[in-house]
Amino acid sequence: MAFRDKDGRRAGGWRRRALPALLGLAVACVLAYALGGIGHPAAAPPAAPPPAVPVAITHVMRQDVPVYLSGLGQVQATNTVTIRSRVDGTLLRIPVAEGQEIKAGTVVAEIDPRPYQAALDQALARRAQDAAQLANAHQDLARYATLAQRDFASRQQLDTQRATVAQLTAGLAGDSAAVEAARINLGFCTIASPIPGRVGLVAVDPGNLVRATDAGGIVTIAQDQPISVLFTLPESDLQPVRAEMKRRPVPVEALSGDAGPVLDRGRLTTPDNTIDPTTGTIRFKASFPNPHDLLWPGQFVTAKLLLRTYRGVLALPLRAVLHGPDGLYVYVVHPDGTAWRQKIAAETVGETAVITHGLTAGQEVVLAGQSRLDDGTRIRAEPLGQADS
């Protein structure tokens, strides 16, 4: 049985009539929302800033910067003597050891002296004989002079005796020269080193016959304390070096290799007197005390000459300086952690840049990692090795 309202209409009929209207209203709302969003996209979330670039940082420092000139050099003994015999004879002994350090005057070789001692004795005997004859001739001359005064001897006899005395006097002088020559030859049998130095390898063993005409020597002596280094520099360095030599002793270091340890420290002695026109270089000579025998004749070293020192200048490692179309520049780090280009003027001194314009002491400058930077790039300081990677 259906229920009806007071007007006689069936109950629930109004709901059936309102349902289509409600559905139409909902569709209209959806369409209106959709149409209202056309041309107005939703706001995107803010973009994240780019990551900071890792770089190595250094500081502009005020410091002393030395100016060095370097050249390849070779160690040379200050003096080298080849011991040779000046007389013929048998080499009896070499009283020094190979490699021994000796002083000047040390006996280094002995030749059999007996033939030369005999020659000296013979020369002495001849001189004594002639001296006796001369003494007798002087006595005869005195007697002839007395007799001639009394007319018991002729003038000719007196003149003849005077000539005999003169002849014997000259002969005695020759005898004395022969004695001296024999004594010198005997002295040559004992050979002493004229210089201090180190004994080289023996070339002639004892027992062998040596001659004064032999081309080779018995042994060599090389003076290695002090010792010399000969090295070359471009000819353009000659005048600056000479100017410094007039003002002060110019220090030189001898290094093992290009950047090896310092073997010894010495001073520049002289440039060569001629420039090599083929290479455009000139040789210099430096002297080193060599107290520890770290420098050896024939050894190749790097000679490092201190030309001058810039005092209290602004300096940076050279790798911090870049070359651009407008000249030199660096990346300066600002307080907000960004890097900006800064034009500079600088002079290259080895691996250091001496700043003459554009920077002040204490400024932070990018040392490595510049290839990833531009003006305003945020940076993050890292150790040098990590910034390069």
Q: How far is CA 72 from CA 103, 229, 254, 267, 312, in A?
A: 31, 10, 10, 16, 30
**44, amino acid identity:** A
Residue spans in the chain of domains classed CATH 1.10.287: 113-188
Pairing of strands 219-234, 61-83: antiparallel
**Strand, coil or helix: what is 91?**
strand
Q: Is the peptide bond before 226 cis (omega within 30 degrees of 0)?
A: yes
Radius of gyration of the chain (CA): 52
Residue spans in the chain of domains classed CATH 2.40.30.170: 68-77+220-310
pLDDT of residue 28: 56
State the distance between the two ends of the chain, measured CA to CA, in whole angstroms. 92
**70, amino acid identity:** S
What does pTM read for this prediction? Answer: 0.70
Structural class in CATH, domain 113-188? mainly alpha
Rounded to 10°, the helix 114-149/155-188 angle is 160
Residue spans in the chain of domains classed CATH 2.40.420.20: 55-65+312-388
Question: CA 207, 211, 215, 221 torsion: positive or negative?
Answer: positive
β-strand partners of 252: 266, 305
Six-digit token string for 286: 């430096």
pLDDT along the chain (389 residues), means of 10: 47 52 56 51 64 93 94 96 96 96 96 96 92 85 75 75 86 91 96 96 95 92 96 96 95 89 96 96 98 96 95 95 94 94 94 94 94 92 74
Q: Element (H or E) spanning 173, and its range?
A: helix 155-188
pLDDT of residue 185: 95
72: Cβ–Cβ under 8 A, 6 or more apart, which residues?
A: 231, 232, 300, 302, 303
β-strand partners of 364: 59
One CATH from 2.40.420.20, 3.40.640.10, 2.10.260.10, 3.40.50.720 for 55-65+312-388: 2.40.420.20
Q: Element (H or E) spanning 31, and its range?
A: helix 13-37
CA of residue 278 relative to chain centroid, distance: 23
pLDDT of residue 49: 74
pLDDT of residue 181: 95
Give all strands (DSSP E) within 4-155, no chain letters.
53-59, 61-83, 89-93, 101-102, 107-111
372: Cβ–Cβ under 8 A, 6 or more apart, which residues?
A: 53, 55
Tell me the helix, strand and coil percentages in the chain, rounded to 5.
Answer: 30, 40, 30
CB atoms within 10 A of CB 17: 8
Determine if residue 87 is left, alpha or beta; phi over 0 gives left, psi from -120 to 50 gives alpha, anything else beta.
Answer: beta
What is the architecture, at CATH level 2, of domain 68-77+220-310? Beta Barrel (2.40)
